[in-house]
Structure 1
Amino acid sequence: MQVVIAGAHGKIGLRLVALLAGRGDVVTGVVRSPAHTADLERAGATPVVLDLESATAGELAAAVTGADAVVFSAGAGPGSGTSRKDTVDRAAAVLLADAARLAGVRRYLLISSTGVDEPLAPDADEVWAAYVAAKKAAEEEITSRDDLDWTVLRPGRLTDDPGTGRVLLAPPPVPRADVTRDDTAAVLAALLDAPGTAGKVLELREGDQDVHEAVAAIV
């Protein structure tokens, strides 16, 4: 399988690169900074340096052409302002969808966020509010498209604890809880092997079910 990961230098992205490359998949990682290419190469991906906030769909399509699937793992990250929540967490996700359409790639995995369906707390920080709004808008734009076989994954609060290989994977609503980045990457890899999960929005938490069994149960 050939997979393109947008935002491949993030903590989940690098884990997913290593998992996919380790099982023999051909992985391309799209990153903004040339400083990140060595990390991607060590993890097993071919890096493509492209700024998702300024690139055109055609430029990104050149990296996506020939792929079997794309994964949107990018995010503006801590310390970014409200405007970049929109330009990265929403607009770049849509850009990847446009590039996939141009390249004839249908399979699309979107990493979103839990809580996007819930009302914000009255004292919510404006940056958090912008992040939630951007994630929800990205979901709405991606799930409205009939040119994609999309799956939306909403992990709980992410931790760097070692993965357990056991999760809770279910349609919303699901109570809030943590999940490791290791297990999130493992679920993403399993979803790529499960085309029957297309058209589904899924919440991910730590749990008691084996990753592959959890994905199979969704199918």
Structure 2
Amino acid sequence: MRPRTTTRTNWIVGSVAAAVLVAGGITAAVAATDGSDSGGPPPSSSADAGFARDMAVHHQQAVEMSYIVRDRTDDEEVRRLAYDIAQTQANQRGMLLGWLDLWELPKVPEGAPMEWMGMGDAPAGEDGALMPGMATNAELARLGELKGKKAEVLYLRLMTRHHRGGVHMAQGCVERCGVDVERRLARGMVESQESEIALMASMLKARGAGV
């Protein structure tokens, strides 16, 4: 059996490589649509740019949490879910950052998180989390300390909350974004993450835990 560190390294490398390939393809697709519906790239203050920046950050934490739990449990169901989430969100993050490159816009948020949704003055997530739904540093550290069923339950709870925040943000893009292909990606995020929320609820129930 290979050491976990080697397995995790291969998993990370695979996610990054996939994200780079997908980002290249999606950048070409966006270039073919000539940016926003009004023609040309969206401005830095637009919902399109704000969503790309904020969701890239949001996705990065989901990938990180999935890497953590994969090393804390041998349960194949949870490891498979974590792998799927990490692969999907790493790829989508590559798309979002690829669009920002194409539009020649900064990748670092210029204002408060989710300001493009009219939430710039709203509090961040719970206990200092950067955005609603995101885990705190203390929660991530706790996840890294647990093993087995306890790690599984905490991961499923944190990811359920994380997905709910992601769905809220993606719905904001569906309503506000001007780039058609970006709206389609956001709709896909809503559908897939709502499906995973339902799956995680059943997984928590099977482990005798609630959300």
| TM-score normalised over the length of structure 2 | 0.28
Higher alpha-carbon Rg:
2
Of structures 1 and 2, the one with the larger relative CO (CA 8 A, separation 6+) is 2
More helix by share: 2
Whose strand fraction is larger, Structure 1's or Structure 2's?
Answer: 1
Query: Could you tell me the TM-score, scaled by structure 1's length?
Result: 0.28
